[in-house]
Structure 1
Amino acid sequence: MKYFLKRAAFMALTLFAACALTFFLMNVIPGGTAELIIKHTFVGLEESVTEEQINQISSRYNLDDPLYLQFLRWVKEAVLRGDIGTSYVFKKPVLYLLALRLPATIQLAGASMVLSVLVGVSLGIYSALRENRISDHVLRIATLFGVSMPGFWVALILILIFSLKLKLVPVSGYGSLENLLLPAAALSLHSVAAVMRVTRTSMLETLGQEYIRFAKAKGLPVWKIISRHALKNAMLPVITVIGFQMGSLLGGAVVIEKIFAWPGIGSLLVDSISARDLPMVQGCVLAIVMMFLLVHFFVDMLYTHLDPRIRYG
């Protein structure tokens, strides 16, 4: 119970720090907040904004107040009423807009994580069993490519090959498996490479243990040795990497969603930053950080299941 209380306090402190940092950094960006709001909602981006319009918007959203008062007012509403604000641009509650966009982000991040785990762990085990053979060297070179290439570049290459040249899948869209394939592949490539490298290293270390050699001496089939003995003990570092990769997937989704016109929180965050829609930006950051913290909490719980010797005090 003490451990859970500590984790809950840590999560609350992390969320507060993330929101505070986001709020003050957004107000450091050059350009007036009121002017940008007007240009994205009432007039075109090329049109000029009058001083009267700026004063009206500043008065409506209390933008003339000191920054610390604006932030404390937001924290008070969020903590006491569960209200994290209303979007300046969309004129709707932030929680409502997040509820619309969150399923798409979870779907993309979930598909990418499943792909990362299935492909990364499978290739890592195969590479460990084929240590220092040609297939092992090829896979290790491929992982260097995977961890080196930025996600947006991979996304553009996938669009060029599979959408524009081969015409197998659509360039963008949402709602079907075909729309999900390219974004999930582009987002998961880095994670597949990272998971594979750690799985290979951990499996090689585990396969060198005495109890594995004893199992081989007993004549057990290789698949039984892997599934019943080696894999479970090799999974602790792999799960740690998977937890960290989930955070990178949520961060990478911001760019990937924009490229593929995927209607998730990431693309909403990019649009909100350009419009200086501070409540919406705060809500998006809050949702992303919360998902990241929940994933790490789940990873900690998996530790105790895989290794009963681990206990949290």
Structure 2
Amino acid sequence: MTTTELTTPAPPLGIGHRIARSTWGSFALSRLGGLFLSLALLVVLTFLIVPLIPGDPAVAILGPDATPEAVAALRKKLNLDLPLYEQFVLYLQGLLSLDLGNSFRFGTPVTALIATKLPYTAQLAFASILVVILVAIPLGMLIGVLTRGGRRPALALGFGTVAGFLASFPGYVAATLLVVVFGLWLKVLPAGGVDSPFAFVLPTAALAFGPTFAVARVVRQETYMVLEQDYLRTARGRRLSTLRLYLRHALPNLLTSTLTVSGLILAGLLGGAIVIETVFSIPGLGNEVVNAIIVKDYPLIQGIVLTIGGLAILINLLIDVILGVIDPRTLGGSSNG
């Protein structure tokens, strides 16, 4: 190899190559690809809600006594007389212009209806995940610390049994019990509606009840694993204070798995809010989609499913970004690179 070959600098990389070689760049490219595929699948599934419904949607809307002329007119109005691929093209054009059509029931744009209902569902879902995180992490860590290394086996067994049962507790059962006890019997909290500042207390508790114990079990197991790590043993050997030992050294290492589970649960809470909103008569997306199904308001059903699915996808993307900030190893590259 000549001296010239040794001293000749490598050609500069283009912007695309530099982005692809960076950890965050490759992370962004992979996540954007996954986001596009997820949204594309969601759009296809929401479009197929109407064509896959058994029978003729026009007949379902007008009723079995409708005349053939009325059915034909409605099919033309809904573009159901067009080939399926043309219907899909029109559906995509509407999505690109933020036009989800008009509600059969109200005659108003679906986007306007969703805009008025979404804040209630978002408030309920995000309040629930906040409760899950604030309760489940301290509870799981406490049980993990108290029962580490085989200590207090009765407590470990009791917590595992009770938490496993409560984690699988149906949300609608918890909601009904909370209404009966706190709304009807003790009468200390509203049993439904959104008129009172405390109206979201019982719905939030009902929605967060099962997931709280599910996350607490995960945190307990992660606590066991973290406490057995060499760096924690070293920290304990240095006789650090309990607060510093667990909050500074153990907690950050628990957040990765906890946030991953919490992101999945939050996405699930958006769907679980449908039942909870119905029980507590909250005028959110969940209550509205139930009514839309009853009256066969297909554009509104499509719009709500698309909105909830899109929010779930974006939430999981946000969780991935937060995890990347907390622990660069989750980006898929070396933390050192």
Q: TM-score, normalised by structure 2?
A: 0.84
Correspondence 1:71 to 2:95: no
Q: Would you say the 8 A contact 1:15–1:286 is kept in 2?
A: no
Whichever residue aligns with residue 101 of structure 1, its letter is K
**From 23, 28, 33, the counterpart of 2:52:** 28
Residue range with higher mean Cα deviation, 220-229 or 65-74: 65-74
1:18 matched to which residue of 2?
42
1:96 matched to which residue of 2?
112
What CA RMSD, in Å, does the superposition of the two structures yield over aligned residues? 2.1
Cα drift, residue 126 of structure 1: 1.0
Name the count of aligned residue pairs.
Answer: 305
Correspondence 1:60 to 2:68: no
Correspondence 1:291 to 2:308: no
Distance 1:260 1:35 in 2: 33
Cα drift, residue 31 of structure 1: 4.6
Distance 1:60 1:311, change over 3 A: closer
Distance 1:50 1:166, change over 3 A: farther
Correspondence 1:86 to 2:102: yes
Alignment of 1:209-220 (within 5 A): 209-220=229-240
1:43 matched to which residue of 2?
none
Runs of 4+ in structure 1 over 4 Å off: none
2:173 matched to which residue of 1?
153
1:37 matched to which residue of 2?
61
**From 268, 280, 283, the counterpart of 1:260:** 280
Alignment of 1:51-200 (within 5 A): 51-79=68-96, 81-131=97-147, 132-133=151-152, 134-200=154-220
Cα drift, residue 173 of structure 1: 0.3
Distance 1:52 1:310, change over 3 A: closer
Cα drift, residue 161 of structure 1: 1.5
Deviations along 1:72-111, whole A, 9 cap, x unmatched?
21112212x2322222222111111111011111100011
Unaligned 5+ runs, structure 1: 40-46
Percent of aligned pairs with the same amino acid: 35
Cα drift, residue 135 of structure 1: 4.2
Whichever residue aligns with residue 69 of structure 1, its letter is E
Residue range with higher mean Cα deviation, 202-211 or 68-77: 68-77
Q: Would you say the 8 A contact 1:146–1:193 is kept in 2?
A: yes
Q: Would you say the 8 A contact 1:87–1:280 is kept in 2?
A: yes
Q: TM-score, normalised by structure 1?
A: 0.89
Tell me the SS of whatever aligns to 2:328. Answer: coil
Whichever residue aligns with residue 103 of structure 2, its letter is S
Cα drift, residue 9 of structure 1: 3.5
Distance 1:59 1:76, change over 3 A: same
Distance 1:2 1:215 in 2: 35
Residue range with higher mean Cα deviation, 98-107 or 88-97: 88-97
Distance 1:84 1:9 in 2: 25
Distance 2:234 2:30 in 1: 42
